[in-house]
Every structure is written in C-alpha cells, then in structure tokens.
Amino acid sequence: MKTRAAPYRCAGGLHPVYHKSLTAAAATIPLELPSTLVISLAQHLGAPARPLVKKNETVGRGQPLAEPAGFISAWIHAPTSGKIKAIDEQWTAAGRRATVITMESDGEDRWADGYPQPPLPADADRKQQIDRVAAAGIVGMGGAGFPTHVKLSPPPEKAIDTLIINGAECEPYLTADQRMMVEDADRLRQGIDRIRRLLGTPAVRIAIEDNKPDAVKAIQQALSSLDGDVEVMVLPSAYPQGAEKQLIYSVTGREVPSGGLPMDVGTLVENVGTTLAVADALDSGLPLTERVMTATGDALSQPANLRVRIGTPFDKIIEHCGGTKTPPAKVVCGGPMMGTALPSLAAGVCKTTSGLLLMPQDTVHFFESMACIRCGRCVNYCPMRLMPCTLSEGGEAEDDELLEEYRILDCIECGSCAYVCPAHRPMVQHMKNSKARIALIRRERELTKQRTS
C-alpha cells in the first residue's frame, strides 16, 4: 500500500479558518441514553419513510420504525427500546418540516427480537449482502444522505473501477470523520474490504486532507494488511475538497459529467462513517442506530466528539457538553459552510448529522442585500467554474433563461461564493431558490413534452 499526494487539483479552493483544534484530539465519548428521542422520517435523500408503528406501541432497539417509500428511500430503526409517544409533523434537523416519531426510552436499551442479526460471512451472496445494507437503513453519512444500497448496485454497464473513501472532511470545525479514522481504523478496513468485494475489487483510494496527519498514520497502519490496489491519497487542505465531484477529480482526474453520477466515470465515493456502518451491518448485524458527530462551537462549554443515538435531541447534546458558555446566536446542524441553521433545538440527530455548531453572537455572519460589485472573486473560487455573481443576479430578476444558460443546476451549494463575497450577498440562498424553480420548470416542460408526444 502506498501513500501519495493527490495528483490533480480541482478549481476553487478556499482556506477558511478551520477551528478543528477544538475537538481534533478529543476521543469519542458515547453519550448517555436520552429519555426522549425525536426521529425524523426524512433523514435521507428521496421519499420520506412510511411509519410502521403506532402511538403507544412498545419497541425494542433495532426494530424497524419506518419502511422505505420508494426505490430511493431508507429503513429507519428504533435507536433504543421504549414507547412511541407521538407521530406528527415537526421541524427537523434538515431545516424543514417532516413526519417525526417521538419515542420515550425505557432505559433498558433492550434489543428487539432477532436483533442484532447474525453476521454475514464475507463470501455470502452479493445480493444478500446488499439487501442487508438496505435493511440496515444505511445512507450516505457525509451529509447528502443518498441510500447506500442504491450506490452499491450500479447497473452492469457502469463498472466501478475506483472506490474512494472520503475522509477529507473539509468543513471547518468538524472532526468526527477524523476521530473515526484514528479510533476505528481496523473496523474501517473491514468496511472497505466489504464494499470493495461487493463492487468486484476496484482500486481503493482513501482520501484524507493533509491537516489530519494522525488519521493518515492510523489508516496507513491499519490498511497495510490489505492487499490489492489500495492507496492513501493526501489532499491539500482546501474547501470544498471533500465535495464528491471535486474529490473524484482530485483523485482520478475524471470529471463527473454535468447532471451525472460518480458511477458515470466508474467511481464510487463512500464517507468514512458510511463505510463503518456497512462494516457494522455486515460483520455485526447492526442496523444504523447511532453515529459519531462533533458538538462544537465557541458558544459551547466543552466541545466534544460524541457517539450518539439517532434521534437524540440537540438540547440534550448541549446539556451533556456542559451547556453553553455564552448564549448561542445561531445553531448549525452540520458544518459552517454547508450546514443548516436550526430554528429551535427540539429536533433530533439524523443519520446525516455530522456536527452541531453553536455560534456566539459575535461570530454570526449577517447577510446584507447589497448590490454585486462584480469583483469576480466568486467566479475565481467557484469549484464548479460557474459565474455565481451572474447567477445570483439572474435569480433576483427571475431570469430563468439566463439561469439555465449559465447552468445553475450544476451548482453544488458549497458556499464558497458567499464566503468570499465582499458585498455579503446571500448567494447560496439565491442558488437554492433558483435551482428549485428551474428544476420545477424543467419537470413541467418534460411533462408537457410527454403529454404532447
């Protein structure tokens, strides 16, 4: 196994202040069981799951609470044993309303019947293994939440020749992936080996940013026993190095075509956390009911890396971390660049929640609606080589023709443009807004086309 620098450099590349030292060296601690859990049914990309339980029903840990409601959807399991208190609509950590199951823990943390499931041997049937991944409710834990079993079963004409394990963690503040790589490197090796076999032994690249030397070292050691084409790729620390398309380019020099998927260029990217979840599901038969996340920020008394059950309410996490130093003015679920600002702390941890960031008043950035002064910085820093200034102006004017011409749908909402904007324009909100509108227009256009033909 070799270690080398990533051979390509993607466009853009910010150097934000990382603030990772708050938690980079803090060992992961398991959070005690909360008394109440708030489990969103829309924790993944695609259709929200359909509830399988009723109010007042008693459930055991690992028991399915909701089933997938479509091909792109996922199972959701009870994170502990207890009683279902309510099923209703609430704000979720994704910053929108969704059906939420509220359950009360009985403190016993008893597994449901048949859980954990028996481990599957490495030479088990491929379909059986992928079904297990699906049944464990595993989704991309880096943030997007794409169901992993869908990624693991590419159509036969799209052979995967490179598996990239994403340990870049380019978001400031977050250190969960880093800690997982340092602490769980052996289990990570098992996960990598599992995924690799499922895909027909492609080359494996573990991509880590150079600001995590401890992770690089741990991975080198743990993976030395792995044979075949396995390499650790050290990436320069730059945002958004860990974004899927940029990562693929840095590692392989291939550009995922506009509107396409990584499998279109023969690659598959899995997050460190997801890889560990796959190992858990196949080797230990555990469904996805907990994850590692970073609770951090300058308003939090004791920033920490935590192993938490899915559904743990955010106020419980804050409590566990010694409360707040100063009143938080903004609470972000995820990292500061792409995370979601939460309107309240009642929501619970999702499968995709990689961090909880409490920002004091003086660090909260305020958007002012000033006119673009055309400094061109956003154009310079856009990792997708778009023209964000033009797009945001076009978005304001709702000039849909212009937005499509300037390819707004290729925007990955990384926030680089808004980060460097001297006019403090809410660029990402413009992008999100325009993208949704354009997507809608396209869908309508498709529909009319279908109807007329």
Asked whether position 362 contacts other proteins by CB under 8 A, the answer is no
Hey, what amino acid is at 181? M
Asked whether position 177 contacts other proteins by CB under 8 A, the answer is no
Contact 389, 408 (CB under 8 A): no
Asked whether position 95 contacts other proteins by CB under 8 A, the answer is yes
Query: Rounded to the nearest whole angstrom, what is the least distance from the CB of residue 152 to other proteins in the complex?
Result: 23
Which DSSP string do the residues of 300-311 spell out, in sequence order?
BSS-EEEEEETT
* Segment lying near other proteins (by CB under 8 A), choices 61-69, 162-170, 288-296, 428-436: 428-436
Query: Rounded to the nearest whole angstrom, what is the least distance from the CB of residue 157 to other proteins in the complex?
Result: 17
List the one residue from 385, 442, 443, 445 that touches other proteins (CB under 8 A). Answer: 385
Query: Rounded to the nearest whole angstrom, what is the least distance from the CB of residue 18 to other proteins in the complex?
Result: 11
Query: Between 319 and 358, how does the x/- string for binding to other proteins read (CB under 8 A)?
Result: x---xx--xxxxxx---xxxxxxxxxxx----------x-
Query: Rounded to the nearest whole angstrom, what is the least distance from the CB of residue 135 to other proteins in the complex?
Result: 31
Q: Which residue lies nearer to other proteins by CB, 153 or 363?
A: 363
Torsion from C-alpha of 215, 143, 362, 369, nearest 10 degrees: 140
Asked whether position 376 contacts other proteins by CB under 8 A, the answer is yes
Query: Rounded to the nearest whole angstrom, what is the least distance from the CB of residue 94 to other proteins in the complex?
Result: 8
Instruction: Give counts: helices (H), strands (E), the chain.
Output: 13, 18
* Cα 369 to Cα 49: distance, rounded to the nearest angstrom: 38
Asked whether position 396 contacts other proteins by CB under 8 A, the answer is yes
Asked whether position 436 contacts other proteins by CB under 8 A, the answer is yes
- Residues 17, 21, 23, 27: is their CA dihedral positive or negative? positive
Q: H-helix or E-strand containing 315? A: helix 314-320
Contact 48, 69 (CB under 8 A): yes
Q: Which residue lies nearer to other proteins by CB, 216 or 332?
A: 332
**Which 22-81 residues touch other proteins, going by CB under 8 A?**
none
Asked whether position 101 contacts other proteins by CB under 8 A, the answer is no
List the one residue from 215, 282, 384, 403 that touches other proteins (CB under 8 A). Answer: 384
List the one residue from 397, 439, 441, 447 that touches other proteins (CB under 8 A). Answer: 397
**Which 215-254 residues touch other proteins, going by CB under 8 A?**
245, 249
Query: Rounded to the nearest whole angstrom, what is the least distance from the CB of residue 191 to other proteins in the complex?
Result: 29
* Cα 20 to Cα 170: distance, rounded to the nearest angstrom: 10
List the one residue from 370, 439, 441, 447 that touches other proteins (CB under 8 A). Answer: 370
Label the pairing between strands 355-360 and 290-296: parallel
For 331, 347, 354, 421, 451, the CA distances from 343, given in Å and listed in that order, are 8, 9, 18, 25, 42
**Token output for 179:** 């800690």
Asked whether position 8 contacts other proteins by CB under 8 A, the answer is no
Asked whether position 372 contacts other proteins by CB under 8 A, the answer is yes
For 188, 194, 278, the CA distances from 286, given in Å and listed in that order, are 15, 15, 9
Query: Rounded to the nearest whole angstrom, what is the least distance from the CB of residue 118 to other proteins in the complex?
Result: 42
* Segment lying near other proteins (by CB under 8 A), choices 52-60, 216-224, 303-311, 381-389: 381-389
Query: Rounded to the nearest whole angstrom, what is the least distance from the CB of residue 204 to other proteins in the complex?
Result: 24
For 34, 83, 104, 431, the CA distances from 107, given in Å and listed in that order, are 8, 11, 9, 45
* Residue matched to tokens 């997007």: 144
* Cα 233 to Cα 8: distance, rounded to the nearest angstrom: 11
Query: Rounded to the nearest whole angstrom, what is the least distance from the CB of residue 146 to other proteins in the complex?
Result: 18
Asked whether position 387 contacts other proteins by CB under 8 A, the answer is yes
List the one residue from 120, 218, 288, 420 that touches other proteins (CB under 8 A). Answer: 420
Contact 138, 148 (CB under 8 A): yes
